[in-house]
């Protein structure tokens, strides 16, 4: 997983790896929580741009990070969510509390 820090805006961007299953999400979770605690972000963006496979482990990963980030007063957002992944999140009802943001924010990554 790639991590990008936008220091001024206090934004953390996590680029998810290709396969989000139980095996891979355990490593991502540890790295993400380490970064969140160190950086104290106002916004955390999970970017699904690279994700080719996701099962219910992805739901657990998102809910877990949502709890971490909100406990510190921050906000969690999802980026580049494909229809397939969206369907899985919808089944769990998490899109009611965690927003998918628009790709226009893409530009922020190139700063």
Residues that bind another protein (CB under 8 A): 19, 21-23, 25-26, 29, 53-57, 59-61, 63-64, 84, 88, 91-92
The residue (of 88 and 105) whose beta carbon lies closer to another protein is 88
What is the rounded CA–CA span in Å between residue 109 and residue 6? 8
Q: Which residues have C-beta within 8 Å of that of residue 68, sequence separation ≥ 6?
A: 32, 33, 36
Tokens standing for residue 55: 């099962």
**Please, what is the minimum distance in Å from the beta carbon of residue 59 to another protein?**
4
Handedness of CA 18, 19, 24, 29 (dihedral sign): positive
The residue (of 4 and 19) whose beta carbon lies closer to another protein is 19
**Please, what is the minimum distance in Å from the beta carbon of residue 103 to another protein?**
22
**Please, what is the minimum distance in Å from the beta carbon of residue 98 to another protein?**
13
């Amino acid at each position: 997983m790639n991590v990008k820090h936008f220091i001024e805006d206090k934004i953390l961007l996590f680029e998810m790896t290709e396969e989000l299953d139980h095996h891979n999400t355990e490593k991502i979770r540890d790295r993400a929580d380490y970064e969140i605690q160190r950086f104290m972000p106002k916004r955390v963006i999970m970017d699904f741009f690279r994700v080719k496979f996701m099962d219910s482990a992805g739901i657990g990963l998102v809910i877990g990070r949502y709890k971490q980030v909100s406990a510190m007063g921050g906000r969690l957002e999802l980026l580049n969510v494909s229809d397939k992944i969206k369907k899985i999140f919808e089944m769990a009802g998490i899109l009611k509390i965690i927003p998918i943001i628009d790709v226009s924010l893409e530009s922020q990554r190139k700063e």
